[in-house]
Amino acid sequence: MDIREYVAQDSGHFEGLVRLQAKAHPAKTAVICDEFRVTYAELDRLVDRVAAALQREGVRLRGVVGICTSSSVEYIAVFLGILRAGATIAPLSAAATAEQLSAMIRDCGASHLFADGEVSRHLEPTAATLSVRRIALDSGADGMAFRDWLAPEGAAPTPVEIDPDQAFNIIYSSGTTGTPKGIVQSQRMRWYQVIRTDPPGYTPEAITILSTPLYSNTTLTSLIPTLAGGGTVVLMPKFDARRFLALCERHRVNVAMLVPVQYRRILAVPDFERFDLSNFRMKFATSAPFPAELKAEVLRRWPGGLIEYYGMTEGGGTCMLLAHEHPDKLHTVGQPIPDHDMRVIDDEGRVLPPGQAGEVVGRSASMMNGYHNRPDKTAEAEWVSPEGLRYIRTGDVAILDEEGFMTLIGRKKDMIISGGINVYPIDLERALSSHPAVHEAAVVGAPSSEWGETPVAFVTLNEGASASPEELRVFANAKLGKMQRISEVRLVPTLPRSTVGKILKRELQALLATSE
């Protein structure tokens, strides 16, 4: 079966399509990371060795294998090898605290964990609580060295029959909500992402740069179509704006997926115009609010088209804004893509007409199976239409206009999005409240040119206690993950409350606005 026939199927598998690309274009470069390049044929052989080694160690259909490391060729080979063995991937965030990361490993039931030295050191406080086979992806990590663990050259796994509805991956959206919630995405959902027709971008000629972590769904929605389409992936393990531009020029990059804060940092490079970006065909953005003025600047200064996606890792509905085609709609996140049904509902679950604000819900072929081991939370995330159809709630408040363009106006939940990462205030408030001097704490998001939003805490102290704002900030941040850290603490005599005792965070946000 050739590639065209394979893609024409109702169901298929991403790693199987990569194998067909290796047969059709064995010498083509698949992945570039620093000075290391691997062809499709080399990648395919390495994937076989990973899959065979996993099966040798008892990994079977629907087993779960974890990966927690920075981006690398080995990461991609392990990712594909897990799929080829018939198992489920759990891509885990190294930015989580040791307790959060350990909770994710236990929750997904991973039999193996592929990690680097930094992650191993990070996990030391909780390592004794974990029962998982460790594979070391560098010399500083715990476990058997990856090259020694691999099956021998030429090894091949036993073919497996994969159910389209079985889990492709379990993604923990942030790991910041006390008990982590694993989003289960099926093989069928990922196959839909491979075969759906998008605007020009992920063709065999694509040279895609990935500068966000591979555990992020944002990154995977760009990695998967690039390799499935026979393109080349340029990995950037750690983002730096100037180096990003240099890599784009050096490798003649023509596709990028970035979060808005990265666009802002890249455009702020003093000699941005010196870099040759003329090869760019398409740039994508997602994960966080993308200000209209920043979109306009990208269009003005950076060659190629610009597409913004609005959606959730949980799936449901996705909006797409072709910014280069709709410069008058830059304040929106675009229109639902074909076959995605997105509605706006009120608090009673009634569908609202265009022009009225309500919560966004969506339905499509791209929907999560549910939250792993959390049927209660899965039910909370769903809305059932009058026709009896399942939709996914977003928690976002928006307005749809008569043309179907969506404008986001707020969030029902208190979630803060900082650098494209979801930050939940309750965890920050708990960290602050564990200080003996703290009586109460409330955290809200403040606008940030660098991060999009940044957490600011308002704190009241216990009677007779004393602590400086900086002392409290350092104390709390030591307990939080890298992407959760509080930027400022403000001491206040009281927190504003409603008549039923609820803290009025909108008043705190208004206070921030008036003090800027």
Please tell me whether residues 242 and 285 are part of one structural domain. Answer: yes
What would the mean pLDDT of 456-461 be, rounded to a whole number? 95
Does the structure show a pLDDT above 80 at 502? no
pLDDT of the residue at 200: 53
Show which of 146, 165, 196 is a domain's final residue: 196
Q: Which two tokens stand for residue 275?
A: 């870099």
Model confidence at 199, pLDDT cuts 50, 70, 90, reads: low
Please tell me whether residues 465 and 406 are part of one structural domain. Answer: no
Please tell me whether residues 431 and 396 are part of one structural domain. Answer: no
pLDDT tens for 135-192 read 999 999 999 999 999 999 999 999 999 999 999 999 997 533 345 799 999 999 999 8
CATH of the domain at 347: 2.30.38.10
Give dist(CA 352, CA 133) in Å, integer.
Answer: 51
pLDDT of the residue at 78: 98
Please tell me whether residues 392 and 264 are part of one structural domain. Answer: no
CATH of the domain at 420: 3.30.300.30
The answer to whether residue 318 sits within a structural domain is no
Does the structure show a pLDDT above 90 at 83? yes
The residue among 172, 205, 19 whose CA lies nearest residue 94 is 172
Report pTM.
Answer: 0.83
Does the structure show a pLDDT above 90 at 411? no
Does the structure show a pLDDT above 80 at 514? no
Poorest-pLDDT segment among 182-196, 212-226, 420-434 = 420-434
pLDDT tens for 231-251 read 999 999 999 999 999 999 999
More confident residue, 221 or 420: 221
pLDDT of the residue at 175: 39
Start-to-end Cα distance in the chain: 62
Show which of 180, 196, 212 is a domain's final residue: 196
Model confidence at 500, pLDDT cuts 50, 70, 90, reads: very low
Give dist(CA 43, CA 4) in Å, integer.
Answer: 21
Please tell me whether residues 301 and 404 are part of one structural domain. Answer: no
Please tell me whether residues 159 and 223 are part of one structural domain. Answer: no
Please tell me whether residues 452 and 393 are part of one structural domain. Answer: no
DSSP bridge pairs for 67: 91, 114
Please tell me whether residues 132 and 212 are part of one structural domain. Answer: no
Please tell me whether residues 21 and 100 are part of one structural domain. Answer: yes
pLDDT of the residue at 178: 45
The answer to whether residue 333 sits within a structural domain is no
**For all residues of the chain together, what is the average pLDDT?**
91
More confident residue, 256 or 427: 256
Q: Which two tokens stand for residue 367?
A: 């929907």
The answer to whether residue 325 sits within a structural domain is no
Please tell me whether residues 47 and 185 are part of one structural domain. Answer: yes
The answer to whether residue 476 sits within a structural domain is yes
pLDDT of the residue at 503: 77
The answer to whether residue 58 sits within a structural domain is yes
More confident residue, 51 or 501: 51
Show which of 411, 440, 473 is a domain's final residue: 411
The answer to whether residue 329 sits within a structural domain is no
The residue among 391, 453, 450 whose CA lies nearest residue 424 is 453
CB atoms within 10 A of CB 460: 16
CATH of the domain at 97: 3.40.50.12780
pLDDT tens for 263-296 read 989 999 999 999 999 999 999 999 877 889 899 9
Token pair 């007409």 is found at 353
Largest CA distance in the chain: 76
The strands making up 133-136's β-sheet, listed across from edge to edge, are 144-145, 133-136, 112-115, 64-68, 88-91, 167-172, 182-186, 370-371
DSSP annotation string for 283-352? EEE-SS---HHHHHHHHHHS-SEEEEEE--TTBS--EEEETTT-GGGTTS--EEPTT-EEEEE-TTSPBP
The answer to whether residue 324 sits within a structural domain is no
Please tell me whether residues 150 and 8 are part of one structural domain. Answer: yes
- The tally of domains found in the chain comes to 4
pLDDT tens for 322-353 read 999 999 999 999 999 999 999 999 989 999 99
Does the structure show a pLDDT above 80 at 513? no
Which contacts qualify for 272-278: CB closer than 8 Å, 24 or more apart? 272/245, 272/301, 273/301, 275/245, 275/246, 275/248, 275/249, 276/249, 277/245, 277/248, 277/249, 277/302, 277/303, 277/304, 278/303
More confident residue, 292 or 300: 300
Give dist(CA 194, CA 200) in Å, integer.
Answer: 14
Model confidence at 71, pLDDT cuts 50, 70, 90, reads: very high
Does the structure show a pLDDT above 80 at 201? no
Give residue 97's domain range: 1-26+38-196
The answer to whether residue 323 sits within a structural domain is no
pLDDT of the residue at 459: 96
Q: Which two tokens stand for residue 409?
A: 């106006």
Does the structure show a pLDDT above 90 at 414? no
Model confidence at 422, pLDDT cuts 50, 70, 90, reads: confident
Residues 6+ apart with CB under 8 A from 343: 351, 352, 360, 361, 362, 385, 391
Q: Which two tokens stand for residue 183?
A: 């989003």
Does the structure show a pLDDT above 90 at 396? no
Please tell me whether residues 369 and 439 are part of one structural domain. Answer: no
Determine phi and psi for 507, rounding to 5 degrees. Answer: -70, -35
Query: Are 344 and 319 contacting, i.e. CB atoms less than 8 angstroms apart?
Result: no
pLDDT of the residue at 498: 55
**DSSP E strands: which ranges in 339-437?**
341-345, 358-363, 370-371, 382-384, 390-400, 406-411, 416-418, 421-423
What would the mean pLDDT of 433-459 be, rounded to a whole number? 91
